[in-house]
Amino acid sequence: MRRSIICLAATSFLLMGPALAQEAKYTWTGYGKNVPQTNKCPTYKMQIDVTVANGRVVGLFQQEGRTQRNFNLPLLPDGSFKGEARLDANTIAVSGRISGESGEILLYGYCEFRGTLKKV
């Protein structure tokens, strides 16, 4: 009997592992903000989709009418992430924080795209 209970408990923990590691998806759509030397950013619409899984933050972002880009960054224990995403000949800084049902995202380069990520 005791052995059965221990086996059942161990099996429960093994089965819970994948549930704890499930991916979470977030999204933001909004307009840019001007940075020095720019004046058109408020007309640039951006869609950002983020998936968090296995300690990584994987993002797809696309400015309306432009090529879709991506980033793949480590998720730190405090829920933050930071790095760069490749553009044609340049890069754009990517940073943010994930916290349960929402998060924050910032893409900073030729424009500033900042917003609250909503869980989907």
Strands of the sheet with 102-108, listed across from one edge: 69-74, 56-63, 45-53, 24-31, 112-119, 102-108, 91-99, 80-86
**Domains along the chain with CATH numbers:** 22-119 (2.40.160.90)
Please tell me the pTM assigned to this model: 0.81
Please choose, from the candidates 35, 93, 39, the residue with its C-alpha nearest in 3D space to the C-alpha of residue 61.
Answer: 93
Dist. CA 67–CA 8, nearest whole Å: 51
Partners of residue 63 on adjacent β-strands: 46
pLDDT tens-digit series, residues 96-105: 999 989 999 9
The confidence score (pLDDT) of residue 100 equals 87
Dist. CA 79–CA 68, nearest whole Å: 25
pLDDT tens-digit series, residues 66-119: 999 999 999 999 999 999 999 988 999 999 999 989 999 999 999 999 999 999
